[in-house]
Amino acid sequence: MSDESTRAVPPSPVTLRVGEDGPAAQPELFHQIGGSETFDRLVRHFYEGVQSDPVLWPMYPHHDLEGAIHRLSSFLQQYWGGPTTYSLERGHPRLRARHSAFHVTPDARDRWLGHMRTALDALELAPLPDALLRDYLDRAAHSLVNSFDE
């Protein structure tokens, strides 16, 4: 066996957005809003709010806040047409599976959305990219509710 045949093959990036005509229905949004820097600012601002939230903060890894910031920012960047870092590091997002260990109630969802909306407000994006991000985040948050027990 040659050395080449025994090397591990890196995982392929996962296409996180697929439209009727192929991958990344809005790939230009990543660049339109300022790329990685803008997503990093969004996620850091979001986590500033989460850290003061008595319902949400216990769900987050206090010991690995920088890791959580990196994962969410990387996911959003890839979803919106940026680098494929998220899937290269973590594989398919499996959002529902990754969040199933947490008690995601409608209250938790609404708090999460509130902090994310505040973070989006701080970016002061143009109306169309802002609306696209808000719509996606709203749908994603609603899809992760897994408990109606308060």
Asked, for residue 10, whether it belongs to a domain, the answer is no
Instruction: Give Cα separations from 73 to 7, 36, 129 (angstroms).
Output: 30, 8, 16
Domains of the chain: total: 1
Tell me the chain's radius of gyration from C-alpha atoms: 17
In a domain, 12, yes or no: no
Here the tokens at position 142 are 């609603």
* pLDDT tens string 43-65: 999 999 999 999 999 998 889 99
Instruction: Tell me the average pLDDT across 60-85.
Output: 92
The range of the structural domain enclosing residue 41 comes to 27-143
Residue 10 clears pLDDT 50, i.e. is over it? no
pLDDT at 61: 84
Whether the Cβ atoms of residue 57 and residue 135 lie closer than 8 Å to each other = no
Q: Does the pLDDT at position 131 exceed 80?
A: yes
CATH number at residue 135: 1.10.490.10
Query: Would you say residue 7 has pLDDT above 90?
Result: no
